[in-house]
Structure 1
Amino acid sequence: MGWLYLHFYRLELDLARAEFSPDAPLALINSAGGQLLSVNEAASAQGVRCGMSVADAMLLAPRLRLCDSVPLRAHRALEAIAASLLQRVADIALDPPSGLSLDVGGMLRLYGDIDALWSALKPLLVPYSFQYSGGCSPLQARLLARAGRGGCYLDKSRLCDQLDALPVDQADLPGKSAQTLQRVGVRSLGQLRRLPRGAVGRRFGRPLLQYLERLQGRVPESWPRFVLPDRFDRSIEFYSEVEFSSGLLFPIQRLVGELASYLHERQRQTDLLCFELLHRQQVCCHLHVHCAQPDDREALLMRLSRMKLESIQLRAPVMGVRLRVDHLHARGANQGELFSATAGGAQEAAQLVSLLRARLGDGAVHGIACREDYRPERAWESVQPGRGGASQCFSPRPAWLLVRSRSVDVREYQVFAGAERIVSGWWDGEMVRRDYYIARGVGGQLCWLYCDAGKQWYLQGYFA
């Protein structure tokens, strides 16, 4: 058994840091707005400390930026971190408001040792401030990480040494056990662990004995395992309004990165990203980013999102961005075909269609499909790119049809194939009766001519 605990002690400030300059002093305040809950290094360097009142902190740091604490925002960020770590670790449990517990015992056989596993996890945690520790039980790893005493190791003797030095008032003891132990002179976990178990149980009660059993990993603990939701729905709320679309690129890139991790973990792809831009006093603005075919590549999804964002003008300052993805598809079989030129060509064509739609608009790019109608001008329709239509078994048809048929003199053409008679349209009042021919024009081009019931000749299209 082996556990790794991550304690994100400045999670909300880390989320706010992206909206301010790197050297800006920041402080997190409670909902009442009267006390500082957390400060960053720049604020700490100016003498600002947790627990201060806002007035005292502003005297020490006049340029201090205050951020309201929103627990829901921190919980969503914790879920996003857990989702990204699922790429490396299979069993993760949330420990709100700022902790993650990772069961790494089964992963050591894959990575070899705890150091190799930590090397794989660390790049995913770069944006955050955190403390971490290994442990032989979830409680053990949690205590050491939150106290900043542990490290990335699972050696029992080293862990016991760190635990023994931990004061009882930092050990999350049940009830009022910490105060009771301090009154009898027990100041550290080491002193408590050396006491006879029977005497501890008689004097301090069974809950403290159960605590010690959990601490040593002798009693299994049931942690609710984090599971990815069936649908992707993430949002980022800003501490200050964003007035220009370029300022939305960073939060959108972060959301798309989280989406790519989600799709990779679920082995899914998507063809529709739904963004919502949240305004203070207006209804939210919806942005739909379409893909010609389901995809899960972060670079492509971000490129399409950026092009879509560049095509709009913000009608009001933005207070937050939400990304929702409901259209999920199983990952295509061509993902693993190394030598399939056909699959690669189809993917490139779909990517081109997606880029054109993001740049020109969804209504400017469409496909062409056949309809069940013999009249050439009605035998096709505009469809969504990639969507098929009715199968046709007609004689050869030109790729280029004129918008309006043009009256011609048949003597200027050399007719060499035909005739194909089309009589259709009696049911909708636009009946046609035509005899079609293939002819060569003066310039050598292949033309599609027809002769109507009045013996008048028309040019309707050209063959490639």
Structure 2
Amino acid sequence: MLWACIALPRLALDAVLRRVPDPSRPLALVSGPAQLRHLHAVNAAAAEAGLKPGMRLSAAHALLSDVAMVEYDPASEARWQRFLAAWAYRHSSQVSARWPGAIVLEVRASFRLFGPWPRFEARLREELEGLGFSHRIALAPTPRAARVFAGLRDGFAVTGEGAMREALARVPVRRAALPGNAGERLQRMGVHTLGDLRMLPRDGLRRRFGVELLEHLDRLHGDADDPLALYAPPDHFDGRIDLGFEVESHQALLFPLRRLIVDLATYLSARDGGVQRFTLRLEHEARHALPSHEADQVQHDAVRFTEVPVGLLAAERDAGLLFELTRNRLEQVALPAPVIGLRLLARELPPFVPAERDLFDTRPAQAVPWPQLRERLRARLGDEAVHRVAPSGDPRPERAWRRADAGEDGDAACLAPAPRRPPRPAWLLPRPVPLRDPRLRIVSGPERLESGWWDGDDARRDYYVLETSRGQRAWAFAPPGEREGWMLHGWFA
């Protein structure tokens, strides 16, 4: 087996930067008790001004007064690690987020799908950069070795166990992710590398450092199995962005909304599924009272929010389409109060079936497939504005069709064989009108139609295909058994 480790050295900071409109402005994460506030992480602009992790908050304000401060949230960091584990699941069936700030995945089985490791690695880096997360990647035969190498050298790759052991022998003990403070203690004892550590008697190491150190070394070098808790994707998506300030316009919500939709599309791609219904929640502060007559506005003691439901006729997972549909729905909602957060909930995740395409597709490059155009029209004009024409089974021509919902399955009507009928005109008149022409010629007919006795609109007609003196093909009927008093009902093309 071959394991790739994706180290995420700035996971908490990147999770905040990807939701702010201008990530180039100085920003820092703050943690610690109220009397000992300090910087947990800083972005590049803040670092250039002299700010660094561990600095006291008062000293940071003295150096840079306009730096943006965001509270460090360990729970949010853990959620983003799980999100990236879901992203990695699209590349491998064996993914683990066991260690904080890192994800490991088995990649040898994926080479046949994604190509050799250099191409696979480039794909991982490209997608991570698109998601907005800085990273370091390393490859090794064991997950623990890959994690150690990722912390030492970005891009390091070793595929053989012998080469891995030689590389590990040169790793400093303080950088070997040893359990507890064993690395610092061994360094003070004069043991500088893992090679030196492996030469020491195991009984003495067990008495001084416990069995955990020996188990770590065995699993690190591949001498013992390393049982990892593998990631299993959840059956729903729940993403949230805290805006950090009050937003009173739809336009200012589009940037964080796009981020949420991209995250949803990434999650769906990892599951190889789609979404058909989801809800966007616009969160408001509790002090803002919402109108009680609005059906889509919910109030609780702690949270007040406005719900924007988004429904599709078929499962989709294209980020651009989902964003456009959600934006159109959002723009139709009046904001009853300033928005302080966005939350996207998707619980119905049916399988995604891509639309069938011809091998030699002759559509223009800018043409929109019908399913996407249908969804855009429904989002912009309303669900009731788009419908289709479906057969009703009534033999009377004026009642042979009905208005059906755009998402209604029309395949069921096609399962039963349709009765064989003579040709029907392409142009059916709204109501029959008298046909007066002294030189009518009967082309075919009659076709007897007797129906409607059950609803009081009985129809007894003989239909003919007629040719007029001008060469037009008409579809007309007369009373049964007669060939006069023609009523025109349609024209053939």
Which stretch shifts more, 272-281 or 39-48?
272-281
User: RMSD value over aligned CA atoms?
Assistant: 4.1
The equivalences for 1:104-115 within 5 A come to: 104-106=107-109, 114-115=117-118
The equivalences for 1:165-204 within 5 A come to: 165-167=172-174, 171-174=176-179, 177=182, 181=186, 189=194, 191-204=196-209
Q: In structure 1, what is the Cα distance between the partners aligned to 2:87 and 2:404?
A: 37
Aligned to 2:342: 320
The equivalences for 1:395-414 within 5 A come to: 395-403=422-430, 405-408=431-434, 410-411=436-437, 414=440
Which stretch shifts more, 119-128 or 179-188?
179-188
Extract structure 1 runs of 4+ deviating beyond 6 A: 108-113, 452-456
Q: Tell me if structure 1 keeps the 8 A contact 2:281–2:305.
A: no
Aligned to 2:212: 207
Deviations 1:284-342 (A, max 9, x none): 11122445xx666x3xx62464256246334225522426273534646956x736989
Aligned to 1:366: 387
Among 215, 231, 237, which residue is 1:233 paired with?
Answer: 237
Count residues in correspondence. Answer: 449
Using the aligned pairs only, state the percent identity. Answer: 31
Give the 3-state SS of the residue equivalent to 1:282 in structure 2. strand
Give the 3-state SS of the residue equivalent to 1:430 in structure 2. coil
Residue 217 of structure 2 is aligned to residue 222 of structure 1: no
Structure 2: 5+ residue runs without aligned partners?
285-303
Q: In structure 2, what is the Cα distance between the partners aligned to 1:96 and 1:413?
A: 91
The equivalences for 1:57-456 within 5 A come to: 57-95=60-98, 97-106=100-109, 114-126=117-129, 127-146=132-151, 148-149=152-153, 151-154=155-158, 155-156=163-164, 159-163=167-171, 165-167=172-174, 171-174=176-179, 177=182, 181=186, 189=194, 191-229=196-234, 231=235, 233-240=237-244, 243-251=248-256, 253-254=258-259, 257=262, 268=273, 270=274, 272=276, 274-280=278-284, 281-291=304-314, 298=318, 302-303=320-321, 305-306=323-324, 309-310=327-328, 312-316=331-335, 318=339, 319-322=341-344, 324=346, 326=348, 328-329=350-351, 331=353, 334=356, 338=359, 348-350=369-371, 352-385=373-406, 387-388=410-411, 389=413, 391-403=418-430, 405-408=431-434, 410-411=436-437, 414=440, 416=442, 417-440=444-467, 445-451=472-478
Structure 1: 5+ residue runs without aligned partners?
none
Q: Tell me if structure 2 keeps the 8 A contact 1:233–1:322.
A: yes
Aligned-partner residue type, residue 3 of structure 2: W
Q: Tell me if structure 2 keeps the 8 A contact 1:71–1:97.
A: no
Q: In structure 1, what is the Cα distance between the partners aligned to 2:226 and 2:125?
A: 26
Residue 72 of structure 2 is aligned to residue 49 of structure 1: no
Residue 14 of structure 2 is aligned to residue 6 of structure 1: no
Deviations 1:389-447 (A, max 9, x none): 363433333333334x2543545783624443333222233333334344456765444
Give the 3-state SS of the residue equivalent to 2:40 in structure 1. strand
Distance 1:460 1:69, change over 3 A: farther
Post-superposition shift, 1:202?
3.3
Aligned-partner residue type, residue 69 of structure 2: L
Post-superposition shift, 1:55?
4.2
Give the 3-state SS of the residue equivalent to 1:373 in structure 2. coil
Q: In structure 2, what is the Cα distance between the partners aligned to 1:110 and 1:353?
A: 34
Distance 1:440 1:282, change over 3 A: farther
Post-superposition shift, 1:56?
3.9
